């Protein structure tokens, strides 16, 4: 056989091996165990459901403080942490990272306590009335500039629910108005402030983060990567897609996918998973929040895979949040396989009540093994 023919068959063998290898890597991925940098666990009996669901997916989670009553001091946060740890299933390592609830009465001295705490990492600002259990939130950010000055001094992250709450502002415009009217002036006053713009939903928010330095970061939820307001509204209102900030237009969803899958370390995983009983979601109150904890990493894998960027998932899910918070990256690994799984229709919650998880009854392409 001539040399050219041998080269030809060698080339065929190479490509057969190449495509086989590519098939394996696309159907099975391993990544450092991820963290959730924005999760709601609630308290009391709710922890029996929420803690195991989250701990089976994530090594660490920022645990939101909007309880009733809210978690306002380091001492209260550490007590809440112990209540969470009591529900971690045996054999799982789960590290709850705590956050204080920012109020008009928060003391500047409390910030140095956060800085010195081993397990409390940040403070969360909810504009009063912005979302679930936010009635005790900050009424006017200018009232708490003395506390924010201490945040900047001690480099303690400020976590922001980035929406204005004025009744006359359209609900789809509240995030952009917050950027223009609250956040831009805040960063001019405190240029070295470390902050996380939580659960961003618009292209304006994504570009705002990109335009600022490394002190400004953002979390992105699975629902804002996978869905848009058509999913919420077309064919009738779907209460289990209702969250705050609300789902936006398709073009905003596309921008979020672009930045989440870009490999830019300023964007990282935060589910905003929030448990609400079915009867609380499916009524006139329509509590805001999507419960994604049981299938969170698979939901993110679905979103990344749909745009051909599954190789970027590890950075977004496992590296960038830990780096921003100055915590070591995890060392354990998880494996995802491209095998269909159907999300359950409902989950038990609070005795005889149910939770409808995000995307209930629908099939995902990825499964955590």
Please enumerate, by residue number, every residue annotated as part of a binding site: 38, 40-42, 66, 124, 161, 199, 244, 272, 276, 288
| Residue 37, SS3 per DSSP | strand
In whole angstroms, what is the distance from residue 113 CA to residue 117 CA?
Answer: 6
Tell the residue number behind the tokens 């679930």, with chain if given.
Answer: 132
CA distance 358 to 241: 7
Q: What is the pLDDT of residue 262?
A: 98
Domains of the chain and CATH, by start: 29-368 (3.20.20.140)
The three-state secondary structure class of 315 is: helix
Q: What is the pLDDT of residue 23?
A: 35
| Active-site choice (35, 36, 53, 272) | 272
Q: What is the per-residue pLDDT for 176?
A: 97
Specify the pLDDT at position 146: 96
65-to-52, 98, 159 alpha-carbon distances in Å: 18, 8, 11
Q: Could you tell me the end-to-end alpha-carbon distance of the chain, in angstroms, rounded to an integer?
A: 48
- Model confidence pLDDT, tens digit, residues 84-100: 999 999 999 999 999 99
- The pLDDT tens digits for 225-238 are 999 999 999 999 99
Q: What is the rounded distance in angstroms from the CA atom of residue 243 to the CA atom of residue 239?
A: 9
Q: Which residues of the chain have pLDDT under 70?
A: 1-26, 129-135
The dihedral through the CA atoms of 164, 169, 172, 177 has a sign that is: negative
Binding site as annotated, residues for substrate: 40-42, 66, 161, 244, 276, 288
């Amino acid at each position: 056989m001539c040399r050219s023919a041998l080269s030809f068959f060698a080339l065929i063998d190479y490509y057969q091996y190449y495509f086989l290898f590519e098939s394996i890597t696309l159907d099975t991925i391993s990544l450092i165990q991820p963290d959730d940098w924005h999760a709601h666990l609630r308290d009391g009996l709710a922890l029996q459901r929420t803690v195991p669901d989250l701990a089976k997916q994530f090594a660490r989670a920022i645990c939101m403080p909007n309880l009733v009553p809210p978690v306002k001091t380091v001492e209260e946060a550490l007590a809440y942490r112990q209540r969470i740890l009591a529900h971690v299933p045996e054999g799982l390592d789960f590290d709850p990272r705590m956050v204080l609830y920012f109020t008009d009465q928060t003391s500047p001295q409390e910030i140095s306590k956060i800085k010195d705490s081993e397990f409390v990492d940040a403070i969360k600002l909810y504009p009063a009335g912005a979302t679930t259990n936010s009635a005790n939130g900050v009424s006017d950010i200018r009232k708490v500039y003395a506390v924010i000055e201490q945040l900047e001094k001690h480099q303690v992250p400020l976590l922001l629910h980035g929406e204005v709450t004025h009744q006359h502002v359209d609900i789809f415009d509240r995030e952009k108005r917050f950027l223009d009217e609250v956040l831009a002036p805040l960063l001019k006053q405190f240029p070295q402030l470390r902050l996380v713009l939580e659960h961003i939903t618009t292209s304006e928010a994504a570009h705002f983060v990109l335009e600022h330095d490394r002190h400004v970061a953002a979390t992105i939820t699975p629902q804002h990567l996978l869905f848009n307001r058509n999913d919420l509204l077309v064919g009738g209102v779907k209460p289990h897609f209702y969250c705050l900030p609300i789902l936006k237009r398709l073009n905003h969803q596309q921008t979020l996918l672009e930045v989440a899958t870009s490999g830019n370390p300023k964007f990282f995983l935060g589910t905003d998973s929030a448990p609400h009983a079915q009867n609380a979601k499916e009524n006139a109150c329509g509590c805001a929040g999507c419960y994604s904890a049981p299938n969170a990493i698979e939901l993110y894998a679905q979103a990344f895979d749909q745009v051909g960027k599954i190789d970027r998932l590890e950075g977004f899910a496992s590296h960038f949040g830990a780096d921003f918070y100055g915590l070591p990256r995890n060392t354990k690994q998880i494996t995802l396989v491209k095998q269909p799984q159907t999300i359950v229709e409902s989950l038990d919650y609070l005795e005889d009540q149910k939770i409808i998880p995000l995307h209930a009854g629908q099939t995902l392409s990825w499964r955590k093994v």
